[in-house]
């Protein structure tokens, strides 16, 4: 789940504080270690210089011993008893095992000098001061980080408020919604006020759009169905006339079928024009009855063709959906199959969870198949129709959870599947 702005801000400050603390600890530790090494080496070198100066003035000068230092001088060409820890040390600065002892080994013509000094007290003081400095630095860092975080929280609080309001915002509520000017807190700042105002304006435009859509749906439903009703009634009356020639009867029946198809297409467009949240009126459908009805509608398209149109499958599924949705989808698929099949067969298989429409027609290339659902696209520009059929089929399938798939190859026909969700 995406993190909110306050949580991201808190995480950023915690990471920043942790990294800054690490830098403080490492920096002070390295600085203290370097300073201690420089001071110790300088003290050992000074002690050695004092000894050599005294030795030059008095060849019999013996190295002094104190509570914190011991000097051992081994004349050249002689062997002297030395502590075990010093015997194998080469010339240079050394730190003996443990915390407090450091040794300087120097050679001269007169012999070898061992300066053994304890810096335990100095090390404790220096490291104690370093620890105190670390604690003080981190305490100051955490205090500044906390104050900065609180200030940042106050600065982004208006944005968090706006995000919370938008999460529960109903665009159709218009100016009376959560983002109405009179409901905005006084301390949100000009930027948030501008955003709130823009969203409130958007809400009003959305509300106006929804109202226009409702008006269009109502008016279109009435204005488009009225002439179709007149056509249907007129054809019914003409068909009832005695002695009507069979050719005229067939023409009138085609007009009636075209009128019913037009009503179905109008229903489909009106359903697609509605918001997804507005559920259209649904009824329980017998899928087999819908299939048989659509098969009879397209049978005249095969007149004069050696094509067998048949329905297979023993399943009898039932669906709950608007009355004409499945008919429009299946009718478009069957019309395409009949138009583009010159010989062979067109089959509708009824299964419990799907309808399969297969034909032995001309098929489609991969390029045509990829664009088959595009509105107004036709592989054959001289074919009848406007190229909207498969686009409507796909959109209706997406709307009602009935995905449509196509498989096709040139010369092998096409298989269309409607899966019931």
Q: Is the pLDDT of residue 94 over 70?
A: yes
| Mean pLDDT along residues 280-309 | 89
- The residue among 144, 168, 192 that closes a domain is 168
> By three-state DSSP, how is residue 104 classified?
strand
Note whether residue 206 is domain-resident. Answer: no
Note whether residue 262 is domain-resident. Answer: no
Note whether residue 253 is domain-resident. Answer: no
Q: Tell me: do 158 and 296 sit in the same domain.
A: no
Range of the domain at 105: 1-77+100-168
Q: What is the pLDDT of residues 6-36, one digit of tens each?
A: 788 888 889 999 999 999 999 999 999 999 8
Note whether residue 237 is domain-resident. Answer: no
pTM of the entire predicted model: 0.50
Q: What is the pLDDT of residues 145-170, one digit of tens each?
A: 999 888 888 877 777 777 777 777 66
Judging by beta carbons within 10 Å of its beta carbon (0-12, 13-18, 19+), is residue 158 exposed, middle or buried? buried
Note whether residue 94 is domain-resident. Answer: no
Residue 174: per-residue pLDDT = 52
User: Count of domains in the chain?
Assistant: 2
Q: Tell me: do 162 and 24 sit in the same domain.
A: yes
Q: Tell me: do 162 and 302 sit in the same domain.
A: no
Residue 417: per-residue pLDDT = 95
Higher local confidence (pLDDT), 298 or 265: 298
- CATH code, 287: 3.30.565.10
Note whether residue 390 is domain-resident. Answer: yes
Note whether residue 158 is domain-resident. Answer: yes
Instruction: List, in order, residues 6 or more apart from 181 with CB less than 8 Å away.
Output: 175, 196, 197, 200
Q: Tell me: do 302 and 157 sit in the same domain.
A: no
Distance CA 172, CA 205 (A): 9
DSSP assignment of 352-375 equals SSEEEEEE-S----HHHHHTTTST
Note whether residue 354 is domain-resident. Answer: yes
Distance CA 28, CA 24 (A): 6
Q: Is the pLDDT of residue 245 over 80?
A: yes
Q: Tell me: do 286 and 164 sit in the same domain.
A: no
Q: Tell me: do 12 and 151 sit in the same domain.
A: yes
């Amino acid at each position: 789940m995406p993190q909110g702005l306050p949580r991201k801000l808190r995480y950023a400050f915690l990471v920043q504080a942790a990294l800054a603390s690490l830098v403080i600890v490492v920096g002070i530790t390295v600085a203290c270690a370097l300073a201690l090494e420089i001071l110790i080496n300088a003290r050992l070198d000074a002690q050695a210089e004092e000894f050599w100066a005294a030795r030059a003035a008095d060849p019999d000068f013996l190295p002094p011993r104190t509570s914190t230092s011991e000097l051992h001088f081994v004349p050249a060409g002689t062997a002297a008893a030395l502590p075990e820890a010093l015997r194998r040390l080469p010339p240079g600065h050394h730190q003996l095992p443990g915390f407090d002892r450091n040794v300087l080994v120097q050679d001269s013509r007169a012999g070898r000098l061992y300066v053994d000094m304890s810096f335990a007290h100095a090390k404790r003081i220096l490291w104690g001061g370093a620890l105190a400095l670390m604690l003080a630095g981190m305490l100051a860092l955490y205090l500044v980080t906390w104050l900065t975080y609180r200030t940042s929280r106050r600065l982004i609080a208006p944005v968090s408020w706006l995000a919370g309001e938008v999460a529960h915002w109903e665009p159709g509520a218009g100016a009376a919604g959560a983002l109405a000017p009179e409901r905005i807190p006084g301390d949100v700042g000009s930027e948030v006020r501008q955003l709130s105002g823009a969203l409130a304006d958007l809400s009003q435009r959305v509300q106006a759009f929804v109202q226009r859509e409702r008006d269009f749906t109502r008016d279109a439903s009435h204005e488009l169905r009225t002439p179709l009703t007149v056509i249907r009634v007129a054809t019914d009356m003409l068909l009832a006339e005695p002695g009507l020639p069979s050719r005229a009867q067939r023409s009138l029946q085609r007009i009636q079928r075209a009128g019913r198809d037009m009503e179905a297409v109008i229903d489909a467009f009106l359903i697609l024009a509605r918001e997804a949240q507005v559920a259209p009126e649904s009824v329980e459908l017998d899928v087999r009855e819908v299939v048989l009805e659509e098969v009879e509608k397209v049978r005249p398209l095969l007149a004069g063709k050696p094509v067998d149109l048949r329905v297979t499958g023993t399943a009898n599924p039932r669906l709950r959906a608007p009355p004409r949705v499945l008919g429009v989808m299946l009718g478009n698929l069957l019309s395409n199959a009949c138009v583009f099949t010159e010989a062979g067969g067109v089959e509708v298989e009824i299964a419990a969870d799907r309808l399969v429409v297969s034909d032995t027609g001309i098929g489609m290339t991969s390029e045509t198949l990829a664009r088959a659902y595009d509105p107004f696209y036709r592989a054959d520009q001289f074919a009848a129709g406007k190229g909207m059929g498969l686009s409507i089929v796909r959109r209706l399938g997406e709307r009602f959870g009935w995905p449509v798939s196509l498989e096709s190859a040139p010369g092998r026909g096409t298989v269309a599947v409607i899966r019931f969700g």
